[in-house]
Structure 1
Amino acid sequence: MSSMHGIGRGLGALCAPIRWFCGAIKLPRQLLLVALILPHFSVADVAWPGAEWVRVDPASLGLDQEAIEKLSGEIEAGQYGNIDSMTIIRHGQVAFEQHYEWDYAAQHKGLNYPSPPPWDYFNADAYPFHGDTDLHSLQSVSKSVMSALIGIAIERGELPGTDATLGELLPHRQFTDPAAKDVTLENVLTMTAGIDWEEDVSYFSLENDATASEALDDWVGYLLSKPMTVEQGTLFDYNSASTQALSEILATATGIPTNVYAERHLFGPIGIRDYHWNSAPEGHTNAGGGLFLTASDLARFTWLFAQNGEWDGEQIVPAEWVARSSRSAIPVYANDPDGWGYGYQWWIYRHKTASGPKMYGGWGWGGQFPLIVPELDLIAVFTGWNIKEDADYAYAFDLFYDRIVTSVAAP
C-alpha cells in the first residue's frame, strides 16, 4: 500500500451546485454471538444493510417523530419546492423515508436549458430520474464519489500521493499555461487549483464555464486551455471541470474507466448493484455531475462515510481520506473563515456547530444532499429537482440541522 503522503461557488455556486425497502439486516461480525443470544440488539450498535435496509420507529433511535413528520408535511405541500425524497438513518437503521411526487413534464414544458442534449436538464424523460428507473441524478454529489475513488486508488498504490501534479498525472495533455502543470492533486480536490474558471454565475448563462463547456467536445481540454489567475492553494474557486480531470487521472493511471473502477472497489463492496453514470464528450466518466443512484444506494455511500470508510469490518475508503474529506481545508468565502468550509469534494457546515454536533455533506444542483453528523451516528439523504432559474433549493442543510439534529436524544 502506498503512503497517504500529501493528503492533506461563491454564493452563486452554492445556490446554483427514494425508494426504500424494509428487510433483513446484516450485523457486524462482533455482534453475531449477541444476536444469537438476544432477540434484539441495542439501537446504539451499528447495523449494516444486507440487500435492503431495516426500518424502525424513530423514537427507538432517539429521534423526534413529530418533528420529522411536520417537516415531511411541509415538503409534501411544496413549501420547499421540488424535494423528491427525504430519508433519515441512525445506527444503520432507517427511521424515516418518504418520496414526494411532482409532475416534471408539466412543470418544465416549454422551458429551455442552454446546454444541448444530453445536458438538457428540463427533459423529464432523462432528468431527474434516468428513464423509467428510480435512479436519481446526483449532480455534483458525483464529485464526492469521485473523491472517494481517488482515495481508494492512492491507498491501493495505483496513484501517487496528493502532492502529485497535473503535469505528472496527465502527461498526454497540453497545458496553455505551463504553471498549471504544477497544480497538485491536493489543490484540485479542494477546489483551489488557481486556474481561471467562472462557475459563480447562473448555470443558465454561457458566461458560466461549466455550462459553456457542455457544448464542447473536451471538457478537460477546455480547463487546461485557461491560464492560472491566482496562486494554487490560496483561494476557493468551484470548478466542475477540475473534478472531470480527476476522472481522467484515475482512468489514465489504472487503465480502467472510472465507472468500472467504482463498481469493483466502491459500489460492489457496499452493495450498490444498479447505477447509471454518463460520460463526458471526451469519453471519460462524467465525474462532475453524471452519476445516478437510487436514494437508498446514495444512503449506502453516505453511511460508509459516517462509519469512517468502513463497511461491516472492511475498510473501503481509507479512514484518513474520510477525515480529510470532512475537515475544511479552505474557507469557501475568504472574508468568512468560520462559514462554509470545503474538504476533499465535500462541504463542511460550520454555521451553527460551534457548540453543537458537527455536520458535513455533499451538495448537488437541484437539491441532492447526503448529510452526515458523525458524533450522532446520524445521516440524512435528500434528493430534489429545483432547477428553474433563480430557484432556491439550498434548504436541506439548515432544515435537517435545525429541525432534526438539534432534537436528537440518546441513544
Structure 2
Amino acid sequence: MFHSARFINTFSIAIAVLVGAGASQASAQGRYWPTHEWRYSSPEAQGLDSEALADALDYVRDHGTRIHSVTIVRNGYIVLDAYFWPFQNGQLHDVASVTKAVTTTLAGIAGGAGAFKGPSQTLASIFAGQPIANLDERKRRMTLKHLMSMTSGLDCRAAPGEFTLWQMRETKDWTQFMLDLPMRDEPGSRFEYCSGGMHLLSGAITKATGVSALDFARRKLFSPLGIRNAIWPADAQGISYGWGDLRLEPRDMAKLGYLWLNNGRWEDRQLVPTDWMEAAIQPQALPPNTNQRYGYGLWLHQYRQPSEFEAVGRGGQRITVIPERNLVVVFTGGEFEPSDVGALLGRALKSDQSLPENQSGTARLAAAVRAAAMPPLPASYISPLANKVSGRRYALAANPLNLKSFVLTFVDAADPQLELEIGDRRDGPRPIGLGGVPRLSSGGPSGLPVAVSGAWKSEDSFTIEYDEVGNINAYRLRLRFTDTGVEVTLSERSQVISSATFRGTPQR
C-alpha cells in the first residue's frame, strides 16, 4: 500500500465516475485496447478511493473551480469521467498547447514511415530548394530535434505574450516567416518557448508527407486510435496550427496519453518508433527558472516520485502520464490551475492493488458526477429537504472549531436562520442571505458584526459562509444531509484552523 498526496500536485486528479459500468468490467480477462471504446471500472477495483474523489468533486462545485472535464485512466480502465456544466460529454475542447505534443508525435510517426531521416535531419535539407533568408551556418545546423525541444536557436521571443507567434500570424506565409527568422543562438544551446517553431515543424511534416498534419494524423494516428472527431485549423497555405487549437474530446485525449504510456505502441503496431518515443520523454532541454525539463513537446517532472510527464495547454488543459502508477489523467478547463485541487485529489490513489468495493462511496461519487453535469441551482432555490431539517438540532462530533451543534430554520423562506453552539456559548439565531448577498447581524464572537450567507448546492447539500468580517475569520460549513444525520466539512479562509470533515446526528 502507499499514499500519495504529492503526485497530483502538478495537475491534480480530477473527477469522473463510472456509473453502471462498474467493477464487473474490470475483471474482464486479457489485455484490451480502447480503440473502439473504453472499458470502465469502479475506482476501488483500480486502487482509488471513491469517497475521496467525491470529496474533490464537491470541492470543485462548491468553489466554482473552472474545470470543464476530468478523465482518469488506470490500468487501461476509465475510473472517472466527469463533465462540469456548461461543458458537456461528447463535446470537443480546444486543447491549446497540448497540440504541441501531438505535432511532435506526428513528426515521430513520419520519421518511422521514412518521410524524415530521423530527429537529427536538418530543416535546410527538408526545405531544400526553397528560399531561406538568414541562412547562416547555425541555421544550417538546426534540426527537427531542435524544433521539438524548443532549442532551435531562432530569434523567437516568448515574452511578452508570445510576441513572435503574433508577429508570425500577421504575415501571409507563417511557415516562411519562421524559416526566415535570423538566428540568435547556436541550435541546442538554449531553451526558448517558441510556438512558432512548432508551426514550422507542422510545415516540415507537410513538406515531407505531402499532406497537412491533420490529414496525416487522420491516417496514421487518429484512425488507429479510434479517434473519429477532431478539428485542427490551418493557415492560408493549409499548414495545421502546429502549436495549438487542436480540438478533441477528453476521452480521445486520454487515448493519446495511453499511447504515450505504452511507449508509442497501440494494439499490435508500434505507431511511434520506440527510440523516438523514448527520446520524447527524456530531458532534451532545461527551461530556465524551473526544475522541470522538456522533452519533445512534453514537460517532464522527473524530480517527483513517481516521475511523470505531461502535455500542457493554457487554461488548464492537461494530459498527464505517470508510468509507475499506470495512470493517465486528462483535464480540460476554462482557465484554472489543476494543482488548486491537488491536495484533495491526491488522497484518492491508495494502492497498486484493488481495494474493497465501497457501495456507498460509489453511489455518492455517481451522484456527484451527475450533479457536476447539471446547471447550478438558482440562488433562491430551497430544497424540499428544508422542511425536514428545519428547526432540528444536530449534535456534532469533535472538530477544530469546537462546534457542538447547529440549528437551521427555514420556516420563513425569505428569512432563514442559523444558530450555532460553539464551546459553551450559543451564537444566534442569525439571518442567512440566500441570494448571494450575505445578511449582516451584530454581536459576533468578538463583538463585531457577522455576515452569513447560504445556498443549496443540491437537494441534500447546503453550504454556509459565516464571515466575521472585521475579525478576519471566515468559515465555510458544507452540510450534506443523509438518512441518518449530516456530514459536515469545515474550512476557514485564512487557515486559522485546519479543515476537517465530521458527522452530526439529530437530537430527539
Following superposition, the deviation at residue 290 of structure 1 comes to 2.7
Aligned residue number for residue 28 of structure 1: none
AA matched with 2:173: D
Paired residue type of 2:255: R
Query: 2:184 corresponds to which residue?
Result: 229
Q: Which residue matches 1:150?
A: 107
Judge conservation of contact 1:43–1:91 (CA < 8 Å) in 2.
Answer: no
**2:200 aligns with one of 245, 261, 272:** 245
- CA distance in 2 between counterparts of 1:21 and 1:281 reads 43
Higher strand share: 2
Contact 1:43–1:61, Cα closer than 8 Å, also in 2? no
Matched, 1:346 2:315: no
| Whole-Å separation in 1 of the counterparts to 2:340 and 2:100 | 18
Q: Distance in 1 between matches of 2:298 and 2:343?
A: 17
C-alpha contact 2:68 2:84 (8 A) present in aligned 1: yes
2:264 aligns with one of 291, 309, 320: 309
d(CA) in 2 for partners of 1:242, 1:20: 38
The counterpart of 2:132, out of the listed 171, 174, 198, is 174
Shift of the 76–170 alpha-carbon distance from structure 1 to 2, 3 Å rule, reads farther
- Note if 1:67 corresponds to 2:52: yes
Deviation at 1:46, TM superposition (A): 4.6
* Larger relative contact order (CA 8 Å, sep ≥ 6): 1
Distance 1:264 1:357, change over 3 A: same
Quickly say closer, same or farther: Cα 1:373–1:397, change in 2 above 3 A: farther
Match of 1:278 in 2: 233
Partner SS, residue 49 of structure 1: coil
Unmatched 5+ stretches in structure 1 = 1-17, 25-38, 104-128, 387-392
402 and 77 in structure 1: CA distance in 2 versus 1, 3 angstrom threshold? closer
Question: Do the aligned residues in 2 keep the contact of 1:22 with 1:53 (CA within 8 Å)?
Answer: no
Is contact 1:193-1:232 (8 Å) kept?
Answer: yes
Q: How many residues align?
A: 338
| TM superposition shift of 1:159 | 0.9
In the TM superposition, residue 401 of structure 1 has moved relative to its aligned partner by: 10
For residues 330 and 152 of structure 2, what CA distance do their matches in structure 1 show?
Answer: 29
Q: Residues 278-297 of structure 1 correspond to what in structure 2 (within 5 A)? A: 278-297=233-252
Q: CA deviation at 1:275?
A: 0.7
Q: Which of 159, 165, 171 is the matching residue for 1:216?
A: 171
Check if 1:395 corresponds to 2:347. no
The letter for the 1-side match of 2:68 is D
Shift, 1:72, TM fit: 2.4
In 1, the alpha carbon distance for the partners of 2:227 and 2:311 equals: 18
Q: Tell me how far 1:87 sits from its aligned partner.
A: 0.8
Scaled by the length of structure 1, the TM-score of the pair is 0.74
Q: Gaps (5+ residues) in structure 2?
A: 1-14, 355-508
Question: Offset at 1:50?
Answer: 4.3
Deviations 1:63-82, CA, capped at 9 Å, x for gaps: 12222222222323345x42
Residue deviations 1:38-77 (CA, integer Å, cap 9, x gap):
x877589653224221221101000122222222223233
The 8 Å contact of residues 140 and 288 in structure 1, kept in 2 or not, is answered as yes
State whether structure 2 residue 221 is matched by structure 1 residue 266.
yes
Distance 1:91 1:346 in 2: 22
The change in CA–CA distance for 1:394 and 1:202 in structure 2 (over 3 A counts) is: farther
1:173 Cα deviation (Å)? 4.0
Across the aligned residues of Structure 1 and Structure 2, the Cα RMSD in angstroms comes to 3.1
Distance 1:235 1:227, change over 3 A: same
What percent identity do the matched residue pairs reach?
Answer: 28
Q: CA-to-partner distance for each residue in 1:315-361, whole Å, 9 max, x for gaps? A: 1112222211111112212x65xx1100011110235x1xx211001
Task: Please state how far the C-alpha of 1:198 moved relative to its aligned partner.
Answer: 1.3
Greater displacement, 86-95 / 216-225 = 216-225
Aligned residue identity for 1:150? A
Which residue of the other structure, out of 151, 159, 163, is the alignment partner of 2:116? 159
State the Cα distance separating 1:102 from its structure 2 match: 4.1
- The structure that has the greater radius of gyration is 2
From the superposition, tell whether residues 83 and 149 of structure 1 become closer, same or farther in structure 2 (CA, over 3 Å). Answer: same
